[in-house]
Amino acid sequence: MEMVAASCPQFTGLRPTLHNARSQPFAQHFNSQLRPSSSRKPCRPVVAMAGSGKFFVGGNWKCNGTKDSITKLVADLNSAKLESDVDVVVSPPFVYLDLVSSSLTDRIEVSAQNSWIGKGGAFTGEISVEQLKDIGCKWVILGHSERRHIIGENDQFIGKKAAYALNEGLGVIACIGELLEEREAGKTFDVCFQQLKAFADVVPSWDNMVIAYEPVWAIGTGKVATPQQAQEVHVAVRDWLKKNVSEEVASKTRIIYGGSVNGSNCGELAKQEDIDGFLVGGASLKGPEFATIVNSVTAKKVAA
């Protein structure tokens, strides 16, 4: 948290206050300019989820692990005590999907890190949705910033991937998020809404979709969006869904946060009303720490 404040004090928030946004028109509370945090009132210590979906925590293992280390990680996860009211998903590298799917407890579902845009065929190096389902995958991560900015996938291509996966019965963790220069230029909402629209234009339904907001400047950098920074983008995304898709979708769709989430910062992030869980990178490679993040759902529960 301190690293964020020290590195980028000029953009600690996008919105001057969080408390009255739901009772006043969206346009009065959101614009594309970044605001200082000095005028913001303190957040409520504990809040309920704004959305109606179940808390969701995904672990993206990326291109990490060996057979030995992943076997150890699976053993740690199988023995972990996890809160019951959380959907938990892990996403191993492709070559270990079958190993993890066949050895992991049923309590945790398995996701792929990518999938092809349509049915399999002469597409060297790609993995089809049908193949993923065949080995027990329930989810796929699509639109991750590393696919967008390193591999070069564009919004429309990612949207078509999501549409195909959903049509074939695979759940989609749909990633959105801005680069540092886009945030500094006041374009955070513009970027996120454009990425959302590419999904909204083609997906058949939002019933099996989870949106992961991952500011690119916070992924793997150790810099974490403050709870206020994350919350204000999450509430903007929910309001965009309400305006552009439907009120029901806005309520039911889970919006999770990703970007250097760990066992130390997950509790404060989880308290935010519109943060419905996490997509975790490096910390998901450590079984006990990942369990701590899953169990941060307790911070979401309203105090009696």
Provide the annotated active-site residues: 144, 214
| Closest-CA residue to 46 (of 297, 229, 232) | 297
d(CA 50, CA 273): 5
d(CA 226, CA 289): 20
Sign of CA dihedral 57, 63, 67, 68: negative
Give DSSP secondary structure letters for 275-302.
--EEEESGGGGSHHHHHHHHGGGGGGSP
Question: Could you tell me which residues come within 8 angstroms of residue 11 by beta carbon, excluding any fewer than 6 positions away?
Answer: 34, 183, 184
* HSE-CB for 201 with a 13 A CA cutoff: 13
d(CA 1, CA 127): 37
Structure tokens of 284? 């998901």
Task: Give the amino acid at 133.
Answer: K
